[in-house]
Chain A
Amino acid sequence: MVQNLAREDFTHIGVEVTDAERLGRPRVSYFKDAWRRFRENKIATLALIILTIMVFFVIFGPAISGYDYARIDGSVRNQPPSREHWFGTDQLGRDLFARVWQGGRISMAIGLIGAFVASFIGSIYGGIAAYFGGIVDDIMMRIVEVLISVPYLIVVILLSVILQSSSIFTLILAMTLTGWCGIARIVRGQMLQVKAQEYIMAARALGVRPWKIIVRHMIPNTLGVVLVAITFDIPGYIFGEAFLSFIGLGVQPPDTSWGALASAAQSRFIFYPYQLLFPSLMIALTMLCFTLIGDGLRDALDPRLRK
């Protein structure tokens, strides 16, 4: 058999040994891959679209309405939604369409800034605790344990009373004061977990410098968790603002927010239900969207869940 084969049958077709190392498909970066998997999640994508539309209206809504959100007009009090006033008017004749989106600016700003500030502080704190370990970690986590056992609404209420002011800055300060503790715990846990992985040991054994390990491995592998935590925290801050405005410690007139609008409408709810409907619908919708996006992100950013 073998003898019958001619030498010409064995030609070199050009496969090099080094080709085994070549990548078969173009390299997909972590976030590109995550984005692809996020889009496969229909519910999360829908939530993202709805949220984008809401953000559009929050930015341009007050201008679209053609009314100033603070202008009082005695001739059009408590009007139901109509062609002139899409969401109706309140008891002072102010256009609710303008007011709802104007209020949305403050509610969303508080949600976003609050969650970002809290996770920034929390990440640094948790990172330091995880990096140093030992007694430093012990003391830092003990402090977090004490802070976390104080319910945050009590802290917020107390601080609003003490500072005697209800500016947006005070609200955010009050809510982030203990709000970072949760993220600090998450980041520390994730960092410790990553630190114990074999590829970190491999990198160490190869002589990679510590800061490079932190920048290349520790931070990217913690970022996903932080991103998810931020998304889940935003509804909490929006609700916190709504709660405070509702009990009278939040945003003060002439400024307004969804919580303040809902609070003002609540006592007249039986007669003018639409006045409560629109701001509370916005609160619920925003919280829902962020929760669903958070769910989607959590699945998309975890490479272990890849099919």
Chain B
Amino acid sequence: MLRYIARRIGYMFVTIFIIITVTFFLMRSIPGDPLAHMARGLPEQTRANYYAKYGLDKPLFTQYLVYMKNLLQGDLGESVVYPGRSVSETITNTSPVSAKIGGIALVIGVSIGIFLGIIAALYKNKWPDYIVMFIAILGVTIPVFVLAALLQYFFAVKLGWFPTSGWGESKHMVLPIMVLALGPIATYARYFKSSMLETLNQDYVLTAESKGLSRFNVIRKHVLRNSALPSITLLAGRIVGIFTGSFLVERMFSIPGIGFYYISSINNNDYSMILGTTIFYAVLFVIAQLLVDLIYMLVDPRIRVAPEKN
């Protein structure tokens, strides 16, 4: 058990190291160099100073070592487009905003999704099942930006209940959260339904029923607990989905989260920002995946007893 966890954490560090290294060299392999179009037209000396400031006058491998050393100290360098703006600071200032919306959306989405999944499983092939599956399919197929535009149109423009965009008050969060929650609702409703139908066919459910347990208690004690297990593995994917969804949602609702800055740094070729934020995202995903796997291992007795061999 402990050996398995240690090995997984070891792999995690290898993965993170590879991602950082590959990202760094890929970003540096761009034709020209990160400062080329910023430094165009500058006098020779200014230009040299400019390059020295970002450490770009040194050989590539030295740059890499310096970057890694700074990275270990939590320093991701300085924005190329906005001198003086530190990448690490931008990340620490903006990611809580994204985490807040994403977290709320995830909790709401997963809860509603599970609830709908339960209903669909209990009323299989009846109208509640069809309605839930319709919602689930809509949630998978409607692109995020279309949903966002629709919600803005109806709730903000037509009805005037919520502002179209902005940030600061809780009313600003309603629409973005609705958009982000649809993904988890759809996946969880579908997945929980099939997982629950599978559990309902198990022998121990039959045993519980023949013992004379009430339908409610059978579902609560036996079916729900056992169906909930596999859906934990879905969490990793949904966390990723929330973050990538936030790229669009934050842009469309003008929310100052990290996705907003990521997209704008891509649009104005802010290389150090892109590099830093990409690393931040990748590390976050890898850690999230590991955590979800470990939680799954802790809750599922079958895996806990025999953790070797996947």
Contacts and interface: CB of A to CB of B under 8 A. Distances in A.
Determine if chain A interacts with chain B: yes
A300 B18 CA distance: 42
A165 to B, nearest CB: 10
Contact of A153 (B153, B157, B244): B244
B149 A269 contact: yes
Nearest to A158: B278
A126 B31 CA distance: 34
B19 interface: yes
B278 A162 contact: no
A159 B30 CA distance: 10
A161 interface: yes
Interface string B237-273: 0001001100110011000000000010011010000
Interface stretch (A93-101, A200-208, A281-289): A281-289
A128 interface: no
A150 B19 contact: yes
B143 interface: yes
Interface of B: 11, 14-15, 18-19, 23, 26-27, 29-31, 137, 140-143, 145-146, 149, 152-153, 157, 240, 243-244, 247-248, 251-252, 263, 266-267, 269, 274, 278, 281-282, 285-286, 289
A230 B9 CA distance: 33
A6 interface: no
A291 B137 contact: yes
Contacts of A292: 137
A51 B275 CA distance: 40
A247 B285 contact: no
Contacts of A269: 149, 152-153
A64 B142 CA distance: 28
Contact of B143 (A142, A150, A159, A242): A242
A120 interface: no
B141 A154 contact: no
Pick the 4 closest A-B CB pairs, nearest first.
A280-B146, A287-B141, A288-B141, A153-B244
Interface of A: 142, 145-146, 149-151, 153-154, 157-159, 161-162, 164, 235, 239, 242-243, 246-249, 262-263, 266, 269-270, 273, 276, 280, 283-284, 287-288, 291-292
A11 B146 CA distance: 79
B153 A164 contact: no
A248 B285 CA distance: 24
B30 to A, nearest CB: 5
Contacts of B31: 164
A284 B146 contact: yes
A60 B145 CA distance: 28
Contacts of B252: 266
12 contacts: A145-B15, A146-B18, A154-B244, A154-B281, A154-B282, A235-B141, A242-B145, A247-B248, A269-B149, A269-B153, A287-B143, A291-B141
Contacts of A284: 141-143, 146
Nearest to B284: A151
A283 B149 CA distance: 15
B247 to A, nearest CB: 7
Contact of B14 (A146, A164, A242, A247): A146
A262 B137 contact: no
Contacts of B247: 153, 243, 247
A151 B19 contact: no
Contact of A287 (B23, B140, B244): B140
Given A158-B26, A249-B266, A280-B143, A149 B289 contact: yes
A262 B146 contact: yes
B15 A164 contact: no
A273 B26 CA distance: 41
Nearest to A143: B18
A153 B27 CA distance: 16
B157 A270 contact: yes
Nearest to B26: A162
